[in-house]
Amino acid sequence: MSELQELYQQVILDHNRKPRNFRQLPSPTQTAEGYNPLCGDRVSVQVQLEGDVIRDLAFQGSGCAISKASASMMTASLKGKTVGEAEEVFDRFHGMLTDDRPSAQLPAALGKLAAFAGVREFPIRIKCATLPWHALHAALAGQAEPVSTE
């Protein structure tokens, strides 16, 4: 597979075309904005927490296929997880894209999110993939200021 095919895998293209949880939550307990000033990508992440559990999770915004698919797959994979579990997934996801020598077990532990492994080969696109995750992290931390990739 070429690097481009690794980047634009079918599952990513599918989530780009038909993003899941692309809506406004009626009464989110937590929200945060993510913004990439270099390209103008914007994502707002809304969380419905019940105690420590992410009961519902949605996003809105505009961006490239990588950021949109990443937001979509993030919301799909974290629903029902605890805050601690979600942060763990983020750590693994981040590590898969940015660690100098990512652990060989990472993709397996990430399930469908492993589709983003190909982003590693496109360094300037890594921020596209991590933007919604940073926004989620800020939402869970109750951060009011929009997060920026820069």
Q: Is residue 65 within the footprint of another protein (CB under 8 A)?
A: yes
In the chain, how many H helices and how many E strands?
6, 4
Sole binder of another protein in the list 8, 49, 106, 143 (CB under 8 A)? 8
DSSP labels for 35-85? EETTTTEEEEEEEEEETTEEEEEEEEEE--HHHHHHHHHHHHHHTT-BHHH
Q: Which of 53, 64, 76, 106 binds another protein (CB under 8 A)?
A: 64
Query: Which lies closer to another protein via its Cβ, residue 12 or residue 78?
Result: 12
Q: Does 71 bind another protein (CB under 8 A)?
A: no
Q: Which stretch binds another protein (CB under 8 A): 43-51, 57-65, 80-88, 140-148?
A: 57-65
Alpha carbon distances (Å) from 133 to 4, 5, 76, 78: 23, 23, 13, 11
Compute CA distances 120 → 91, 99, 124, whole Å: 15, 9, 9
39 binds another protein (CB under 8 A): yes
Structure tokens at 106: 């990472």
Window contacting another protein (CB under 8 A); options: 1-9, 24-32, 88-96, 106-114:
1-9
Show the tokens assigned to 16.
């780009």
Taking CB under 8 A as the rule, which mask of x and - marks residues 98-127 in contact with another protein?
A: ------------------------x--x--
- Shortest CB 56 distance to another protein, Å: 27
Would you say the C-alpha torsion 121, 127, 132, 138 has a positive or negative sign? Answer: positive
Residues of this chain that bind another protein (CB under 8 A) = 2-4, 7-8, 13, 17, 38-42, 62-66, 68, 122, 125, 128
